[in-house]
Homo-oligomer: A and B are copies of this chain.
C-alpha cells in the first residue's frame, strides 16, 4: 500500500471527512492540493513532527504514533485558543515497512482526525532508501480563531499576573518512553472555555511541550518579564517529583498568565496557580522549593529537540 492506494483509501472516507467537523472540504484529497472553505480571513498554521527513536520508541503501535503526530499539533491550536480546521501529513516510511503497519498508520491518522475534529485533507507518502531509517510523520494544522475572535499569544503577561497550569505535570514522558505523551487529550475545549471565562484577564498562553521550566520561560521572555514558581504548588502526576514536573517535556497541558484568580477547573480539568510573573530578567524562571531557589533553565529538557 503506497501513495496512490492510500489516497484511494482516503477518498472512500470523504463522507466521513465532511462529518468530521473542522473546515468545509471543497476539493478533497486526490488532486494537487486540497481546497478548504474557512469562516474568516485569518488562518493559523503550525507544523510539528514525530521521529522514530526520538518521539516514540521502537514497537509503539502505529495508531498511537499517528495519534501523537496529530495531537501535538492540536495542542498548539489549544495554546492559541483556536479551533482546528484541517491538517495535512507527510510520512517518510522505512524501506520495506509492512503494509499492515502502513495501513495502521493511515487508519490511526483518520481516527485521530475524527477525535480532534480536524480532517486530514492531503499529504505525501514517501519511502526511505533504507529499512533502518526511522519513520518520520510530519503534520501541519490549520486553525481559526474561536467564537470570541481572540487569539492568545505567548506575549502579554504583566507583572503580578498569576502563572497557572491545567492538569498534572511530569507524567508526560517517563525516562523509559512511557507516559501520557501517547494518549493525552489536547486542551482545545479548556482553552476556549478559558477565553470565554476570563476575557481580558487572560494575558498569555502556551502549551507545555518542552517542559514547564522552558515553556514558562517562553511566556516570560515574550512578555519581557521573569517568572517565579512555587514547587510545592505544582500539580504533579503520580510518581513525579517537582524536578520532573518542571523539567520533563510532553505534558501538553496549558500554561497561562492571568490577572486575578483563574477558575478552579475547565471542562472538568483542574487548574492550579503555581506562581506569578514579576519584573526581572526577561525569560528567567525561578523555582522555590523548601526555601531554596533554583534556576529552571538548569532543569532544561532536550529530549524533543
Contacts and interface: CB of A to CB of B under 8 A. Distances in A.
Interface in A21-74: 23, 26-27, 30-49, 51-55
Interface string A290-305: 0000000000000011
Q: Looking at chain A's contact residues, is the secondary structure mostly helix, strand, loop, or mixed? A: strand
A206 B32 contact: yes
A286 interface: no
Interface residues of A, number: 68
Contact of A45 (B40, B79, B86, B128): B86
A191 to B, nearest CB: 10
Given A32-B206, A305-B125, A305-B126, A48 B90 contact: yes
Contacts of A36: 42-45
A35 B155 CA distance: 14
A40 B41 contact: yes
A86 B55 CA distance: 27
Contacts of A38: 38, 41-43
30 contacts: A26-B42, A27-B153, A31-B80, A31-B154, A31-B155, A32-B76, A32-B206, A32-B207, A33-B45, A33-B79, A33-B141, A34-B44, A35-B44, A37-B41, A38-B38, A45-B86, A45-B140, A45-B142, A47-B89, A48-B124, A51-B129, A54-B126, A54-B127, A90-B138, A124-B138, A125-B305, A126-B304, A126-B305, A129-B134, A140-B140
Contact of A46 (B26, B32, B54): B32
A99 interface: no
B128 A53 contact: yes
A235 B130 CA distance: 35
A127 B305 CA distance: 6
Contacts of A142: 43, 45, 142
Interface string A76-108: 110110100010111010000000000000000
A53 B151 contact: no
* Interface core residue of A44, A123, A222 (most chain B CB under 10 Å): A44
A183 to B, nearest CB: 21
A271 interface: no
Contacts of A32: 46, 76-77, 79-80, 154, 206-207
A45 B36 CA distance: 8
Contacts of A27: 44, 151, 153
B47 A122 contact: yes
Interface string A4-27: 000000000000000000010011
B47 A88 contact: yes
A128 B140 CA distance: 19
Contacts of A126: 49, 51, 54-55, 304-305
A59 B89 CA distance: 27
A30 B141 CA distance: 16
